[in-house]
Structure 1
Amino acid sequence: MPVTRFPRRAVSASFERPLADGDEYIVELEVEKLGNTSITYAWRVLKAELVDSDGAHTVIHVDGSGEPTPLPDALRAVLDDLVNDTA
């Protein structure tokens, strides 16, 4: 499935602490919400178990002409199990 069929609709980020070149960090990514044509991902960047930044981005599944179209059934089946129900 081409990545180009999932353009970003919205992006947000909050930066709490700086990261320096060479710092070790962990990135957490989760599926926050599944819509009919969209997926919202939430993410956090942690260093030493402290949140350095967090945010979310929403992507829209589009057809060949760029119009929103329902998420493919195979993708939805995989992502349904990953949705964070506590969000």
Structure 2
Amino acid sequence: LKCNVDDCELAVRNDSFTKADCTLNAEARHLCDIKCEGADRDSVISKSPTTNRKCIRFYTYNTEQSSKGWQIWRQGLCAQESIVLQVHCGFPEND
């Protein structure tokens, strides 16, 4: 997920970036769908630039699961930053 102040773009695997499906909710969180349909877990595995001190995982950004699927949220000063967040989607193991 690559975000600027006004919008975000998403690339799945090695595809090109396309406009992400993002909203602003009542808690002033920017929420973006990260297209992890069928995943039972996910995690942000990196951010770029790594030196960004306004985007701190669990405090100003993270992933969450809702009825709409998996999303990344950003809030506060992080929501105003240009940043790239790389996400890993985890899927259930087949027995």
Give the TM-score normalised by the residue count of structure 1: 0.29
Of Structure 1 and Structure 2, the greater helix share is in 1
Whose radius of gyration is greater, 1 or 2? 1
